[in-house]
Amino acid sequence: MQSLKTFSLWLIVALTLSTAAGCSSWVYRINIPQGNFLEQSDVEKLRVSMTREQVIYVLGKPIAEDAFDKNTWRYVYSFNKGRKNEQQKSLVIKFENERLVSLAGDYDQPENFNTPLEQ
């Protein structure tokens, strides 16, 4: 009789824990930023004909370099806030002859982008 009570108690505990595990959507999840966080003010500093070193100085090292095209850099940023609210931004920079020639992505092109820096 005592073993039946012990078994019943363990069964209730196991069922309670498995039910609580199914309620994982109630568990708090931390916000996780990943990648290169860039602001529009950072992108505004870019100019055509900048060297790779100058771009790294302004934006930092890119999170993803294209393995097949060394002239394309991708700055990718994602931020998961909660479960359904994800924010993503990207900036793609292209070089020709070791000089910046174009940029595209979720940021506005700088007004003075086509004006090269003085050499």
Domains of the chain: 31-109 (3.30.1450)
In tens, the pLDDT along 58-96 reads: 999 988 777 888 999 999 988 877 667 778 889 999 999
Confidence (pTM): 0.68
Question: Can you give the pLDDT at residue 31?
Answer: 76
Q: What are phi and psi of 34, to 5 degrees?
A: -135, 140
Longest Cα separation, the chain: 92
b/e 5-35 (16+ beta carbons within 10 angstroms → b) = eeeeeeeeeeeeeeeeeeeeeeeeeeeeeeb
Residue 62 CB coordination number (10 Å): 19
With vertex at residue 83, the alpha carbon angle to CA 79 and CA 87, rounded to the nearest 5 degrees, is: 25
Neighbours of 60 (CB within 10 A): 13
- The pLDDT confidence band at residue 43, using thresholds 50, 70 and 90, is very high
Q: How does the average pLDDT of the chain come out, rounded?
A: 84
**Residues in a beta bridge with 119:** none
